[in-house]
A and B are shown apart, each in its own frame.
Chain A
Amino acid sequence: DQQVKQNSPSLSVQEGRISILNCDYTNSMFDYFLWYKKYPAEGPTFLISISSIKDKNEDGRFTVFLNKSAKHLSLHIVPSQPGDSAVYFCAASVAGNTPLVFGKGTRLSVIA
């Protein structure tokens, strides 16, 4: 049973517009969430995170929103750039338990 779900395998967005990547989780014990970005032939790299005590965290063009009651989080990229084209993984953790649980990823394509 997948505890972290990314139901959209792919997303295509025009350059300059907003990209919204979604993630749902089932384990209510998760209290820390991270987004990773992965380019082909490279390992995932950390992008942004959020603790369950917050509902929003912003870092430049990237904002993560957390809706605990819906067990849903989303990553917003504004404005989207061609260099943002990659696979984005949502990951979750229970505080004090380092191993991360990952979703299957969403492939974002930003079209110039």
Chain B
Amino acid sequence: SAVISQKPSRDICQRGTSLTIQCQVDSQVTMMFWYRQQPGQSLTLIATANQGSEATYESGFVIDKFPISRPNLTFSTLTVSNMSPEDSSIYLCSVDGGLVLFEQFFGPGTRLTVL
């Protein structure tokens, strides 16, 4: 199993600013995923990040708003740009590679509040 850490665990930010969330994995993984969970909603995939290539964004999410870096096989960052209160969510990174098909390991999440 993979152990995933995220920084920061939580933050309160002002409207119009940007926040970069870091995700560190204790082993090398091919695919990393970034999810958002808005209050009372399901986990929604933002993008898939593969090392050495551009991230693949899901419908409704764009690179200008959520730029992603994947500099190596154990690390990724997600930036939430030009934040508004609607961006207040829990942001989670995950990786695949469990023994069970499609099993993903999740980080603890970053709770973001935008004022």
Contact = CB atoms under 8 A, between A and B. Distances in A.
Given A34-B103, A98-B102, A99-B33, A43 B42 contact: no
Interface stretch (A44-52, A60-68, A78-86): A44-52
Nearest to A48: B100
A89 to B, nearest CB: 7
Interface string B45-73: 10010000000001000000000000000
B43 A89 contact: yes
B62 to A, nearest CB: 17
What is the size category of the interface that chain B forms with chain A? 20 to 34
Contacts of B42: 2, 4, 89, 102-105
Contact of B96 (A4, A41, A98): A98
Interface in A10-51: 32, 34, 36, 41-46, 49, 51
Contacts of A51: 101
B103 A32 contact: no
B108 A46 contact: no
B32 to A, nearest CB: 11
A104 B41 contact: yes
B102 A100 contact: yes
Contacts of B105: 43, 46
B102 A44 contact: no
12 contacts: A4-B42, A32-B102, A41-B109, A43-B94, A43-B107, A44-B43, A45-B106, A46-B103, A49-B100, A98-B31, A100-B45, A102-B43
